[in-house]
Structure 1
Amino acid sequence: MEIEVIVQNEQDARIAEKAGADRLELVATMEEGGLTPNLRVIEQVLASVNVPVFVMVRPHSRHFCYRGADLEVIKETLSVVTNCQADGIVFGCLNEKKEVDVPVLETVLSLKGDLKMTFHRAFDEVMDQTAAYQTLCRYSSRIERILTSGGAEKAGDALDQLEHLIALSKEARGPAIMVGSGLHPQTFTAIHKRLKAEAYHFGSGVRIHQSFNKTIDPSPIEWLKEIETD
Protein backbone atom coordinates (compact mmCIF):
# COMPACT_ATOMS: atom_id res chain seq x y z
CA MET A 1 0.00 0.00 0.00
CA GLU A 2 1.44 3.35 -1.09
CA ILE A 3 0.79 6.59 0.73
CA GLU A 4 1.01 9.75 -1.37
CA VAL A 5 0.96 13.12 0.38
CA ILE A 6 0.26 16.58 -1.03
CA VAL A 7 3.11 19.00 -0.32
CA GLN A 8 3.38 22.71 -1.06
CA ASN A 9 6.98 23.51 -0.18
CA GLU A 10 10.32 22.19 1.03
CA GLN A 11 9.27 22.02 4.69
CA ASP A 12 6.21 19.94 3.85
CA ALA A 13 8.32 17.64 1.71
CA ARG A 14 10.91 17.00 4.41
CA ILE A 15 8.29 16.26 7.06
CA ALA A 16 6.29 13.94 4.80
CA GLU A 17 9.37 11.99 3.70
CA LYS A 18 10.65 11.57 7.26
CA ALA A 19 7.20 10.38 8.40
CA GLY A 20 7.23 7.66 5.74
CA ALA A 21 5.33 8.98 2.72
CA ASP A 22 6.03 6.88 -0.36
CA ARG A 23 5.46 9.65 -2.88
CA LEU A 24 4.80 13.39 -2.88
CA GLU A 25 2.44 15.41 -5.06
CA LEU A 26 3.84 18.93 -5.32
CA VAL A 27 1.22 21.63 -5.85
CA ALA A 28 0.54 25.32 -5.33
CA THR A 29 -2.65 27.26 -4.58
CA MET A 30 -4.61 24.53 -2.84
CA GLU A 31 -7.47 26.97 -2.28
CA GLU A 32 -8.10 26.48 -6.01
CA GLY A 33 -7.69 22.73 -5.88
CA GLY A 34 -3.98 22.65 -6.70
CA LEU A 35 -2.10 24.38 -9.51
CA THR A 36 1.42 24.20 -10.96
CA PRO A 37 4.07 25.39 -8.46
CA ASN A 38 6.77 27.83 -9.51
CA LEU A 39 10.22 26.78 -10.66
CA ARG A 40 11.99 27.78 -7.45
CA VAL A 41 9.68 25.66 -5.29
CA ILE A 42 10.05 22.69 -7.63
CA GLU A 43 13.84 22.91 -7.45
CA GLN A 44 13.85 23.32 -3.66
CA VAL A 45 11.61 20.32 -3.08
CA LEU A 46 13.48 18.07 -5.49
CA ALA A 47 16.77 18.97 -3.80
CA SER A 48 15.42 18.28 -0.30
CA VAL A 49 14.00 14.73 -0.56
CA ASN A 50 14.76 11.34 -2.05
CA VAL A 51 11.21 9.97 -2.40
CA PRO A 52 9.50 10.38 -5.78
CA VAL A 53 8.03 13.83 -6.45
CA PHE A 54 5.19 14.27 -8.93
CA VAL A 55 4.57 17.86 -10.00
CA MET A 56 1.09 19.18 -10.73
CA VAL A 57 0.67 20.40 -14.30
CA ARG A 58 -2.44 22.56 -14.20
CA PRO A 59 -2.39 26.16 -15.46
CA HIS A 60 -5.64 27.35 -13.82
CA SER A 61 -8.68 26.10 -11.92
CA ARG A 62 -11.45 27.21 -14.30
CA HIS A 63 -11.83 23.92 -16.16
CA PHE A 64 -9.89 20.96 -17.59
CA CYS A 65 -10.50 21.76 -21.26
CA TYR A 66 -7.23 23.10 -22.61
CA ARG A 67 -6.80 24.92 -25.91
CA GLY A 68 -4.61 27.67 -27.35
CA ALA A 69 -2.75 29.62 -24.68
CA ASP A 70 -3.54 27.05 -21.98
CA LEU A 71 -1.92 24.31 -24.01
CA GLU A 72 1.15 26.44 -24.65
CA VAL A 73 1.52 27.02 -20.89
CA ILE A 74 1.25 23.26 -20.32
CA LYS A 75 3.97 22.60 -22.88
CA GLU A 76 6.25 25.15 -21.21
CA THR A 77 5.57 23.58 -17.82
CA LEU A 78 6.45 20.13 -19.13
CA SER A 79 9.76 21.48 -20.38
CA VAL A 80 10.52 22.99 -16.97
CA VAL A 81 9.56 19.86 -15.03
CA THR A 82 11.57 17.66 -17.39
CA ASN A 83 14.65 19.85 -17.02
CA CYS A 84 14.30 19.76 -13.22
CA GLN A 85 14.38 15.96 -13.38
CA ALA A 86 11.24 15.41 -11.35
CA ASP A 87 9.97 11.86 -11.12
CA GLY A 88 6.61 12.49 -12.68
CA ILE A 89 3.68 14.76 -13.43
CA VAL A 90 0.06 14.96 -12.33
CA PHE A 91 -2.21 15.95 -15.22
CA GLY A 92 -5.73 15.54 -16.53
CA CYS A 93 -7.71 16.90 -19.47
CA LEU A 94 -11.30 16.73 -20.66
CA ASN A 95 -13.17 17.82 -23.76
CA GLU A 96 -16.45 19.71 -23.90
CA LYS A 97 -18.39 16.43 -23.65
CA LYS A 98 -16.74 15.60 -20.29
CA GLU A 99 -14.69 12.81 -21.85
CA VAL A 100 -10.93 12.32 -21.70
CA ASP A 101 -9.47 14.71 -24.29
CA VAL A 102 -7.41 12.23 -26.26
CA PRO A 103 -5.60 14.68 -28.59
CA VAL A 104 -4.43 16.85 -25.68
CA LEU A 105 -3.50 13.78 -23.63
CA GLU A 106 -1.45 12.38 -26.51
CA THR A 107 0.33 15.73 -26.88
CA VAL A 108 1.29 15.70 -23.20
CA LEU A 109 2.38 12.06 -23.35
CA SER A 110 4.57 12.82 -26.35
CA LEU A 111 6.28 15.68 -24.49
CA LYS A 112 6.74 14.24 -21.02
CA GLY A 113 9.69 12.06 -21.95
CA ASP A 114 10.59 9.60 -19.20
CA LEU A 115 8.42 11.34 -16.60
CA LYS A 116 5.85 9.07 -15.01
CA MET A 117 2.25 10.25 -14.91
CA THR A 118 -0.81 10.28 -12.70
CA PHE A 119 -4.11 11.27 -14.33
CA HIS A 120 -5.68 13.50 -11.69
CA ARG A 121 -9.20 14.14 -10.45
CA ALA A 122 -10.39 15.57 -13.72
CA PHE A 123 -11.39 11.91 -13.91
CA ASP A 124 -14.09 12.66 -11.32
CA GLU A 125 -15.82 15.05 -13.71
CA VAL A 126 -16.22 12.67 -16.66
CA MET A 127 -19.69 11.57 -17.71
CA ASP A 128 -18.80 7.85 -17.67
CA GLN A 129 -15.88 6.70 -15.51
CA THR A 130 -15.87 3.18 -16.96
CA ALA A 131 -15.54 4.54 -20.49
CA ALA A 132 -12.92 7.05 -19.35
CA TYR A 133 -10.92 4.28 -17.67
CA GLN A 134 -11.03 2.20 -20.83
CA THR A 135 -9.73 5.20 -22.78
CA LEU A 136 -6.83 5.67 -20.36
CA CYS A 137 -6.06 1.95 -20.55
CA ARG A 138 -4.88 2.52 -24.09
CA TYR A 139 -1.98 4.44 -22.56
CA SER A 140 -1.32 2.17 -19.58
CA SER A 141 2.39 1.94 -20.38
CA ARG A 142 2.66 5.73 -19.95
CA ILE A 143 0.02 6.47 -17.28
CA GLU A 144 0.77 4.71 -14.01
CA ARG A 145 -2.28 5.59 -11.98
CA ILE A 146 -5.54 7.53 -11.79
CA LEU A 147 -6.36 9.65 -8.74
CA THR A 148 -10.08 9.47 -8.05
CA SER A 149 -12.74 9.77 -5.38
CA GLY A 150 -15.13 7.69 -7.45
CA GLY A 151 -16.88 10.81 -8.70
CA ALA A 152 -17.99 11.99 -5.25
CA GLU A 153 -16.67 14.98 -3.35
CA LYS A 154 -15.19 12.59 -0.80
CA ALA A 155 -13.95 9.08 -1.49
CA GLY A 156 -15.87 7.68 1.48
CA ASP A 157 -19.13 8.59 -0.26
CA ALA A 158 -18.40 6.51 -3.38
CA LEU A 159 -17.09 3.19 -2.13
CA ASP A 160 -19.24 1.13 -4.52
CA GLN A 161 -17.87 3.01 -7.51
CA LEU A 162 -14.32 2.83 -6.21
CA GLU A 163 -14.67 -0.94 -5.75
CA HIS A 164 -15.85 -1.14 -9.35
CA LEU A 165 -12.91 0.90 -10.63
CA ILE A 166 -10.36 -1.10 -8.64
CA ALA A 167 -11.81 -4.36 -9.97
CA LEU A 168 -11.75 -2.92 -13.48
CA SER A 169 -8.11 -1.94 -13.14
CA LYS A 170 -7.14 -5.43 -12.02
CA GLU A 171 -9.13 -7.07 -14.78
CA ALA A 172 -7.75 -4.78 -17.47
CA ARG A 173 -4.25 -4.60 -15.94
CA GLY A 174 -4.39 -0.90 -16.63
CA PRO A 175 -3.49 2.18 -14.58
CA ALA A 176 -3.80 1.62 -10.84
CA ILE A 177 -6.59 3.35 -8.95
CA MET A 178 -5.27 5.72 -6.27
CA VAL A 179 -8.05 6.67 -3.87
CA GLY A 180 -8.12 10.26 -2.68
CA SER A 181 -10.20 13.20 -1.43
CA GLY A 182 -11.50 13.56 2.08
CA LEU A 183 -9.38 10.77 3.55
CA HIS A 184 -8.64 11.05 7.26
CA PRO A 185 -6.97 8.63 9.66
CA GLN A 186 -10.19 8.45 11.70
CA THR A 187 -12.10 6.82 8.83
CA PHE A 188 -9.26 5.24 6.87
CA THR A 189 -9.24 1.79 8.45
CA ALA A 190 -12.82 1.03 7.40
CA ILE A 191 -12.27 2.40 3.90
CA HIS A 192 -9.08 0.42 3.36
CA LYS A 193 -10.61 -2.76 4.78
CA ARG A 194 -13.27 -2.56 2.11
CA LEU A 195 -11.31 -1.26 -0.87
CA LYS A 196 -7.81 -2.70 -0.34
CA ALA A 197 -6.52 -0.19 -2.89
CA GLU A 198 -2.87 -0.16 -3.94
CA ALA A 199 -2.46 3.53 -3.17
CA TYR A 200 -4.09 6.34 -1.19
CA HIS A 201 -3.71 10.09 -1.54
CA PHE A 202 -3.78 12.38 1.51
CA GLY A 203 -4.08 16.15 1.70
CA SER A 204 -5.56 18.12 4.57
CA GLY A 205 -6.19 14.91 6.50
CA VAL A 206 -2.52 14.73 7.48
CA ARG A 207 -2.11 18.42 8.33
CA ILE A 208 -2.31 20.30 11.61
CA HIS A 209 -5.96 21.30 12.19
CA GLN A 210 -6.65 19.58 8.84
CA SER A 211 -5.84 22.83 7.07
CA PHE A 212 -3.63 23.60 4.08
CA ASN A 213 -2.72 26.82 5.87
CA LYS A 214 -0.87 24.65 8.40
CA THR A 215 2.10 22.37 7.93
CA ILE A 216 2.02 18.58 7.78
CA ASP A 217 1.52 16.60 10.98
CA PRO A 218 3.83 13.56 10.78
CA SER A 219 1.84 11.48 13.27
CA PRO A 220 -1.01 10.44 10.92
CA ILE A 221 1.47 9.43 8.20
CA GLU A 222 3.49 7.37 10.67
CA TRP A 223 0.27 5.69 11.82
CA LEU A 224 -0.74 4.92 8.23
CA LYS A 225 2.61 3.28 7.58
CA GLU A 226 2.18 1.14 10.70
CA ILE A 227 -1.12 -0.13 9.27
CA GLU A 228 0.74 -1.14 6.13
CA THR A 229 3.20 -3.29 8.07
CA ASP A 230 0.71 -4.86 10.51
Structure 2
Amino acid sequence: MKLEICANSYLSAINAQKAGADRIELCSELSVGGITPSYAILKKISEEITIPVNVLIRPRSGDFCYIDDEFSLMKENILLCKKLGFNGIVSGVLNTDNSIDIERTKELVELSKPLSFTFHRAFDCVDNPQESLQQLIDLKVDRILTSGQKLKAENGIYLLIELQQLAKDKLIILPGSGINAKNARIFKVAKFKEIHASASKIIDKESTIFFDKTPQTISDFENIKEILNVIKDA
Protein backbone atom coordinates (compact mmCIF):
# COMPACT_ATOMS: atom_id res chain seq x y z
CA MET A 1 0.00 0.00 0.00
CA LYS A 2 1.24 3.47 -0.93
CA LEU A 3 0.81 6.61 1.13
CA GLU A 4 0.13 9.91 -0.62
CA ILE A 5 0.54 12.95 1.59
CA CYS A 6 -1.52 16.04 0.87
CA ALA A 7 1.09 18.73 1.44
CA ASN A 8 -0.12 22.30 1.83
CA SER A 9 3.31 23.96 1.84
CA TYR A 10 6.98 23.56 1.08
CA LEU A 11 7.71 22.45 4.64
CA SER A 12 4.89 19.89 4.54
CA ALA A 13 6.38 18.46 1.36
CA ILE A 14 9.83 18.26 2.94
CA ASN A 15 8.38 16.43 5.95
CA ALA A 16 6.56 13.99 3.67
CA GLN A 17 9.75 13.15 1.81
CA LYS A 18 11.88 12.81 4.95
CA ALA A 19 9.29 10.59 6.64
CA GLY A 20 9.21 8.18 3.69
CA ALA A 21 5.87 8.95 1.99
CA ASP A 22 5.46 7.39 -1.44
CA ARG A 23 3.97 10.43 -3.15
CA ILE A 24 2.81 13.99 -2.52
CA GLU A 25 -0.30 15.81 -3.64
CA LEU A 26 0.74 19.44 -3.57
CA CYS A 27 -1.75 22.21 -2.93
CA SER A 28 -2.23 25.46 -1.04
CA GLU A 29 -4.99 26.56 1.35
CA LEU A 30 -6.03 23.13 2.54
CA SER A 31 -8.59 24.74 4.87
CA VAL A 32 -10.79 25.48 1.82
CA GLY A 33 -10.19 22.12 0.17
CA GLY A 34 -7.00 23.14 -1.61
CA ILE A 35 -6.13 25.35 -4.58
CA THR A 36 -3.21 25.41 -7.01
CA PRO A 37 0.05 26.52 -5.37
CA SER A 38 2.00 29.55 -6.53
CA TYR A 39 4.63 29.35 -9.26
CA ALA A 40 7.42 29.94 -6.72
CA ILE A 41 6.36 26.95 -4.60
CA LEU A 42 5.93 24.76 -7.66
CA LYS A 43 9.40 25.66 -8.94
CA LYS A 44 11.12 25.13 -5.58
CA ILE A 45 9.47 21.77 -4.99
CA SER A 46 10.20 20.61 -8.53
CA GLU A 47 13.87 21.31 -7.82
CA GLU A 48 14.15 19.89 -4.29
CA ILE A 49 11.63 17.07 -3.87
CA THR A 50 12.67 13.74 -5.39
CA ILE A 51 9.60 11.58 -4.65
CA PRO A 52 6.67 11.79 -7.13
CA VAL A 53 4.56 14.94 -6.80
CA ASN A 54 1.04 15.37 -8.18
CA VAL A 55 -0.20 18.96 -8.32
CA LEU A 56 -3.74 20.10 -7.58
CA ILE A 57 -5.14 22.16 -10.45
CA ARG A 58 -8.01 24.13 -8.95
CA PRO A 59 -8.11 27.88 -9.59
CA ARG A 60 -10.25 28.82 -6.59
CA SER A 61 -12.28 27.47 -3.70
CA GLY A 62 -16.01 26.84 -3.98
CA ASP A 63 -17.72 24.67 -6.56
CA PHE A 64 -16.14 22.79 -9.46
CA CYS A 65 -17.92 24.63 -12.30
CA TYR A 66 -15.61 27.09 -14.02
CA ILE A 67 -16.03 30.01 -16.39
CA ASP A 68 -13.93 30.03 -19.57
CA ASP A 69 -11.21 32.24 -18.11
CA GLU A 70 -10.84 29.98 -15.05
CA PHE A 71 -10.65 26.92 -17.28
CA SER A 72 -7.93 28.61 -19.34
CA LEU A 73 -5.94 29.22 -16.15
CA MET A 74 -6.25 25.53 -15.28
CA LYS A 75 -4.85 24.53 -18.65
CA GLU A 76 -1.97 27.00 -18.33
CA ASN A 77 -1.09 25.55 -14.94
CA ILE A 78 -1.12 22.02 -16.33
CA LEU A 79 1.33 23.08 -19.04
CA LEU A 80 3.52 24.67 -16.37
CA CYS A 81 3.49 21.47 -14.30
CA LYS A 82 4.51 19.46 -17.35
CA LYS A 83 7.36 21.88 -18.02
CA LEU A 84 8.55 21.61 -14.41
CA GLY A 85 8.56 17.82 -14.59
CA PHE A 86 5.92 16.87 -12.06
CA ASN A 87 4.55 13.32 -11.82
CA GLY A 88 0.84 14.01 -12.16
CA ILE A 89 -2.17 16.30 -12.20
CA VAL A 90 -5.09 16.30 -9.75
CA SER A 91 -8.16 18.03 -11.13
CA GLY A 92 -11.67 17.71 -12.53
CA VAL A 93 -14.71 19.69 -13.65
CA LEU A 94 -18.42 19.31 -12.86
CA ASN A 95 -21.57 20.63 -14.50
CA THR A 96 -23.99 22.82 -12.56
CA ASP A 97 -26.07 19.73 -11.71
CA ASN A 98 -22.96 18.13 -10.14
CA SER A 99 -22.56 15.59 -12.93
CA ILE A 100 -19.10 15.21 -14.44
CA ASP A 101 -18.34 17.66 -17.21
CA ILE A 102 -17.17 15.02 -19.66
CA GLU A 103 -15.82 17.32 -22.37
CA ARG A 104 -13.81 19.61 -20.11
CA THR A 105 -12.47 16.80 -17.96
CA LYS A 106 -11.46 14.95 -21.12
CA GLU A 107 -9.63 18.05 -22.30
CA LEU A 108 -7.69 18.22 -19.03
CA VAL A 109 -6.84 14.51 -19.13
CA GLU A 110 -5.57 14.76 -22.70
CA LEU A 111 -3.58 17.92 -21.98
CA SER A 112 -1.97 16.31 -18.93
CA LYS A 113 -0.50 13.36 -20.83
CA PRO A 114 1.96 11.75 -20.28
CA LEU A 115 1.49 12.78 -16.63
CA SER A 116 -0.90 10.72 -14.50
CA PHE A 117 -4.35 12.17 -13.86
CA THR A 118 -6.30 11.95 -10.61
CA PHE A 119 -9.92 13.07 -10.55
CA HIS A 120 -10.20 14.87 -7.21
CA ARG A 121 -12.89 15.03 -4.56
CA ALA A 122 -15.35 16.75 -6.86
CA PHE A 123 -16.31 13.09 -7.24
CA ASP A 124 -17.86 13.26 -3.77
CA CYS A 125 -20.43 15.75 -5.08
CA VAL A 126 -21.86 13.57 -7.87
CA ASP A 127 -25.34 12.07 -7.50
CA ASN A 128 -24.52 8.74 -9.13
CA PRO A 129 -21.02 7.61 -8.14
CA GLN A 130 -21.30 4.28 -9.97
CA GLU A 131 -22.19 5.93 -13.28
CA SER A 132 -19.55 8.62 -12.72
CA LEU A 133 -16.94 5.93 -12.05
CA GLN A 134 -17.64 4.37 -15.45
CA GLN A 135 -17.42 7.76 -17.13
CA LEU A 136 -14.00 8.34 -15.60
CA ILE A 137 -12.88 4.86 -16.62
CA ASP A 138 -13.91 5.71 -20.17
CA LEU A 139 -11.89 8.94 -19.95
CA LYS A 140 -8.86 6.85 -18.89
CA VAL A 141 -8.36 8.64 -15.59
CA ASP A 142 -5.66 6.94 -13.50
CA ARG A 143 -7.31 7.30 -10.11
CA ILE A 144 -10.18 8.86 -8.19
CA LEU A 145 -9.59 10.62 -4.87
CA THR A 146 -12.73 10.15 -2.79
CA SER A 147 -14.02 9.88 0.77
CA GLY A 148 -16.85 7.61 -0.32
CA GLN A 149 -19.13 10.68 -0.30
CA LYS A 150 -18.87 11.04 3.48
CA LEU A 151 -17.10 13.70 5.53
CA LYS A 152 -14.49 11.09 6.50
CA ALA A 153 -13.32 8.17 4.39
CA GLU A 154 -13.73 5.80 7.34
CA ASN A 155 -17.47 6.47 7.24
CA GLY A 156 -17.59 6.02 3.47
CA ILE A 157 -15.82 2.65 3.54
CA TYR A 158 -18.73 0.65 2.08
CA LEU A 159 -19.06 2.84 -1.00
CA LEU A 160 -15.28 2.92 -1.35
CA ILE A 161 -15.15 -0.87 -1.37
CA GLU A 162 -17.99 -1.03 -3.88
CA LEU A 163 -16.22 1.43 -6.17
CA GLN A 164 -12.99 -0.51 -5.90
CA GLN A 165 -14.76 -3.71 -6.87
CA LEU A 166 -16.44 -2.01 -9.83
CA ALA A 167 -13.20 -0.37 -10.98
CA LYS A 168 -11.23 -3.64 -10.86
CA ASP A 169 -7.86 -2.84 -12.45
CA LYS A 170 -9.16 -0.05 -14.72
CA LEU A 171 -8.29 2.75 -12.30
CA ILE A 172 -7.24 3.19 -8.67
CA ILE A 173 -9.70 4.22 -5.97
CA LEU A 174 -7.73 6.47 -3.61
CA PRO A 175 -9.48 6.86 -0.23
CA GLY A 176 -8.87 10.22 1.44
CA SER A 177 -10.19 12.46 4.21
CA GLY A 178 -9.60 11.90 7.90
CA ILE A 179 -7.22 8.96 7.44
CA ASN A 180 -4.68 8.61 10.23
CA ALA A 181 -2.68 5.98 12.09
CA LYS A 182 -5.73 4.93 14.12
CA ASN A 183 -7.91 4.00 11.14
CA ALA A 184 -5.43 3.33 8.32
CA ARG A 185 -5.57 -0.42 8.90
CA ILE A 186 -9.22 -0.46 7.78
CA PHE A 187 -8.11 0.48 4.29
CA LYS A 188 -5.25 -1.98 4.32
CA VAL A 189 -7.59 -4.82 5.27
CA ALA A 190 -9.93 -3.75 2.45
CA LYS A 191 -6.95 -4.12 0.09
CA PHE A 192 -6.79 -0.59 -1.24
CA LYS A 193 -3.59 0.02 -3.17
CA GLU A 194 -3.13 3.59 -1.95
CA ILE A 195 -4.40 5.99 0.69
CA HIS A 196 -4.32 9.78 0.92
CA ALA A 197 -3.77 11.76 4.14
CA SER A 198 -2.60 15.19 5.22
CA ALA A 199 -1.14 13.80 8.49
CA SER A 200 -1.33 17.35 9.74
CA LYS A 201 -0.98 19.02 13.08
CA ILE A 202 -1.82 22.56 14.16
CA ILE A 203 1.28 24.68 14.63
CA ASP A 204 -0.43 28.00 15.32
CA LYS A 205 -3.46 27.73 17.58
CA GLU A 206 -3.74 31.43 18.37
CA SER A 207 -3.54 33.45 15.18
CA THR A 208 -2.61 37.07 15.78
CA ILE A 209 -4.25 38.14 12.52
CA PHE A 210 -7.64 39.53 13.52
CA PHE A 211 -9.34 38.87 10.16
CA ASP A 212 -8.20 35.26 9.75
CA LYS A 213 -8.64 32.81 12.60
CA THR A 214 -7.84 29.73 10.47
CA PRO A 215 -5.20 27.73 12.36
CA GLN A 216 -1.92 27.08 10.57
CA THR A 217 -1.29 23.39 9.93
CA ILE A 218 1.57 21.31 8.59
CA SER A 219 2.01 17.70 7.48
CA ASP A 220 3.84 16.31 10.49
CA PHE A 221 6.87 14.01 10.25
CA GLU A 222 5.81 11.84 13.19
CA ASN A 223 2.19 11.55 12.05
CA ILE A 224 3.37 10.41 8.62
CA LYS A 225 5.72 7.85 10.15
CA GLU A 226 2.92 6.46 12.31
CA ILE A 227 0.66 5.92 9.29
CA LEU A 228 3.51 4.29 7.38
CA ASN A 229 4.20 1.95 10.30
CA VAL A 230 0.59 0.76 10.12
CA ILE A 231 0.28 0.26 6.37
CA LYS A 232 3.79 -1.11 5.74
CA ASP A 233 3.63 -3.58 8.63
CA ALA A 234 3.42 -7.08 7.18
Q: Is the 8 A contact 1:55 1:86 kept in 2?
A: yes
| Counterpart residue number, 1:213 | 216
What is the Cα-based RMSD across aligned positions, in Å? 1.7
User: Matches of residues 191-230 of structure 1 in structure 2 within 5 Å?
Assistant: 191-203=186-198, 206-209=199-202, 213-227=216-230, 228-230=232-234
What aligned pairs does 1:1-230 form with structure 2 within 5 A after superposition? 1-140=1-140, 143-170=141-168, 173-189=169-185, 191-203=186-198, 206-209=199-202, 213-227=216-230, 228-230=232-234
* Displacement after TM superposition at 1:210 (Å): 8.7
Does structure 2 retain, via aligned residues, the 8 Å contact 1:57–1:74?
Answer: yes
TM-score using structure 2 length: 0.89
Greater fraction of residues in helix: 1
Amino acid at match of 2:60: H
Unaligned runs of at least 5 residues, structure 1: none
The range that moved more, 9-18 or 44-53, is: 9-18
Q: Is contact 1:162-1:195 (8 Å) kept?
A: no
After superposition, the Cα gap between the structure-2 partners of 1:78 and 1:60, relative to the gap in structure 1 and judged at 3 Å, is same
Structure 1 166/113 Cα, relative in aligned 2: closer, same or farther at 3 Å?
Answer: closer
TM-score normalised according to structure 1 size: 0.91
Alignment partner of 1:66: what SS? coil
Which amino acid letter does the alignment assign opposite residue 151 of structure 1? Q
- How big is the shift at 1:25? 0.5
- Unaligned stretches of 5+ residues in structure 2: 205-214
Distance 2:191 2:224 in 1: 18
Instruction: Give the secondary structure class of the aligned counterpart of 2:4.
Output: strand
Deviations 1:25-54 (A, max 9, x none): 110111211000011000111211111001
Residues 219-228 or 48-57, more deviating: 219-228
Change in CA separation of 1:80 and 1:194 when aligned onto 2, cut-off 3 Å: same
Alignment check: 8 A CA contact 2:12 2:220 kept: no
SS of match in other structure, 2:17: helix
The percentage of aligned residue pairs carrying the same residue is 30
